[in-house]
Structure 1
Amino acid sequence: MAQSQADARPEASDRTRRFIFVLLPEFTLLSFSAALEALRLANRMSGKPLYEWRIVGDGGGMVRCSAGTVFELDGDLPEVSRADTVMLCGGIDIVSATTKRLLNWLRREARKGPVVGGLCTASWALAEAGLMDGKRATIHWENHDGFEEEFPEVSLTKSVFVIDGNRMSTAGGISSIDLMLKLVADQHGEDLANAVADQLIYSAIRTDRDTQRLSTPTRIGVRHPKLGEVIKKMEAAIEEPISPALLAGQVGMSTRQLERLFRRYLDRSPKRYYMELRLQKARNLLMQTDMSVINVALACGFASPSHFSKCYRAQYATTPYRERGSSSAKE
């Protein structure tokens, strides 16, 4: 989205802005620390207290990140003001981390009108609270399939970060830096944002137009354009799979040519590769959502639950029902 001149102008006020970081259990340390460091360095490089922050969590006390380190919180979930920026920090097992008390707090405080954002997987909690309805959002690529199924009212993107009105989200990892540099630039000018980036040894600032992952063909080293096009078509048609013969015809080649390309570049048949894509999505849905096994099967192009179970067992050496059970046990 093109940035307007009004958006590009830094605000004149140097008043201190308060961030409320809400650390969810098993949050991703990198996403949180990257955001916090960007704010700290903005203060240092400007020589002014442009930002302050509190680190809180459900119940206060202590919270552990996914790396195992335990953090002492400044307190319980607080009352916020319209001028605050609330940033939820998520990580693994975001569904379990999204407690009823957290959801009630989010809904209540959001009515006051603050900016509310989610780092890494925390946009799931915001969507669960209904705060992302009708908004654009992003989430870590690993949670993309589950999010898309659970929250169809949210326009999910693959961007590294998204700002839509007073809602923000990031894809995780160092995308927190990109979001914070954008905020610093909007509020205090690009010179300060660039100075912060230099301190972070961050030489490639990304925008909300950048995607969080390389395309599948690029990631797996496929340089043949027609093969790459077929893979994209497969990824876009998981629920209603397209036959290899039809895919070949759509890109102007024979089925035999397509078979040879898959064997050469991926050491498997088009049918096998397509099946693996569908089963990978099925596994994501089983582990990230409460969808029934039958609905997961249908969402991944399997008309018969028994056929789905047979294919799943061949790929993962367990059944979909056991996979769902093991996922619940971890929670």
Structure 2
Amino acid sequence: MELGVRRRSKPFSQGALRVAAYARTAASTNHFVVKSFKKDGKHLAHLAEDMRCQALCKAFALEFNNLVSPQHAVDFIITTCLKAATGKDGTSQCMSLEPYIKGQYVKYNNNSGWVNHDLPAGDATNQAAQAFSHFTFERSWGQILVCDLQGVGGLLTDPAIHTADPNRFRLADTNLNREGFKFFFSTHTCNDVCKTLGLISTAEMVMRKSLTFREKWPAVESTVYCSNKLCGKIVPAAGARKADEYPNCHWCDVCWPQLESTKVRWMCLAPGPDHEYDVSRFFYESQGRGMPRKCPEHQEADEPAARPAAVGGAVWARMNNTAKQKNISGRSW
């Protein structure tokens, strides 16, 4: 996708590998953070793996939210991998763009078994976070466990994924594979959300390497992602905003008004009499597409008017295909 990004020259934060700076895109009022690697940092392949990690976590969250009460819902921000335009020295920097989350960050657990016990015992988000980690292990039939959960409320970022297959997410230093499963279950205590979900895998099973999982799960109800590829917020289908002008697209309450507020009137460059047309700068930016220089009537017949954002890949496709079923097998993962 093509995207114009303006970032502040002075970072507001930095870690061992990356620096973070506030940023804005050309056609959106949404606030973002650009994270770039230091000179000895990692590069494009690692950023792409971060994107896949976030997308997988989001697919898990979509199903998790269908099974718990709204107060226990979680979501993950979208991370976009960018390659900057080539500089004067002939190189181009790799960086990531993600929504800025305003508020107090809280870490709920990490990738080596630590759990935040400083929060009140009944804290709904903390309960949801611990149960979500357990849920990902159970729902994936012991193949994946998402942890290292942190964020503002239920909006989470920078998760870690442990995998049974050592070849999956192998670029991630935080992937401890099966040892990570043991770390998590060594400190995990099932809470009310785990019980609501009917999770049956336990620490004893993990240690004995004899695992039993829930066999049947309710099919995911009608839930969608915001079609802005830089947002991707999980939205109930009934509450998502839609317009005939953007078929097959769904929008959250933040992105929806920007479709109209960024409309400009352009002159069509197609041959024939001069005429103008309205075009939303935000829409085309949200899809990573350049602005069309022809009116809809003159655009290519085979060019779709809208391309909804796809997040979660094959995981979401499998879940979406089972939407009309009452139950799906846990083994279908």
Which TM bucket (shorter chain)? under 0.3
Q: Name the one with the larger helix percent.
A: 1
Greater strand fraction, Structure 1 or Structure 2: 2
What TM-score comes out, normalization by structure 1 length?
A: 0.25
